[in-house]
Amino acid sequence: MSKIYVTSDLHFNHINILKYCPNRKYSSIEEMNEDIIKRWNSTVKDIDTVYILGDVAMGPKEHHVTFLSQLKGNIKIIPGNHDKYIVKLAKNNGLPPRVEMLDPIYNLKHGHTYFILCHFPMEEWEGMAGHSSDHIAGAIHLHGHTHGKSTRKKDRWDIGYDVFGGPILIDAFVP
């Protein structure tokens, strides 16, 4: 049976991420890139789906396809602020066949739970507790961008690589 995972802020090839995020204790960007792929592929199966909530990679756009091609699963990307090359590749049909670009804010229903997926954390969103939205009441907001530095709320989670160390099952956020 297939599973659904979420993650964000992989930052393949981003040399400065090693100094910005102290929990990334790698001696080189190559070591980090290899470890991200290894962790991903030890968790995700080919039949699974992974939503990446932005900031996939930096550097030459050819490398983006190389990294994505090495990852297992069906990959859905919600673009982040460092994804200009990924967006261009998607517009030109240049992404690997198992990779799809989604809208910057994406509504996902999983079981009886609605999720609002976006790279950026939002203070308020459609369907959040206490807001009127009949069709997605009680929606959980999953985001990246803050590398574990945002204030977590009971219905808003930073699901980034620097928080969970790789893809995490979306079921972990079902109330």
Average pLDDT, the chain: 91
pLDDT for the residue numbered 59: 79
Q: Is the pLDDT of residue 131 over 80?
A: no
Please give the average per-residue pLDDT across 125-135, as a whole number.
68
From 3.40.50.1820, 3.60.21.10, 3.40.1410.10, 3.30.1180.20, which CATH number describes the 4-173 domain? 3.60.21.10
Q: Is the pLDDT of residue 133 over 70?
A: no
* pTM metric for this prediction: 0.94
Helices 84-91 and 61-70, axial angle in degrees (round to 10): 80
Q: Is the pLDDT of residue 3 over 70?
A: yes
Q: What is the 3-state secondary structure (H, E, C) of 23-90?
A: CCCCCCHHHHHHHHHHHHHHHCCCCCEEEECCCCECCCHHHHHHHHHHCCCEEEECCCCCCHHHHHHH
pLDDT for the residue numbered 125: 84
Length of the chain: 175
pLDDT for the residue numbered 135: 65
- Is 160 strand, coil or helix? coil
Kindly state the tokens that stand for 38: 């290894």
Binned at pLDDT 50, 70 and 90, residue 62 comes out as confident
Among residues of the chain, what percentage have pLDDT more than 70? 95
Each domain of the chain, given as residue ranges in start order, spans 4-173
Q: Is the pLDDT of residue 27 over 60?
A: yes
The set of residues, in sequence order, having a beta carbon less than 8 Å from that of 59 and lying 6+ positions away, is 12, 13, 14
Q: Is the pLDDT of residue 121 over 70?
A: yes
Residues 33-48: pLDDT tens digits? 999 999 999 999 999 9
Residues 98-114: pLDDT tens digits? 999 999 999 999 998 99
Q: Is the pLDDT of residue 130 over 70?
A: no
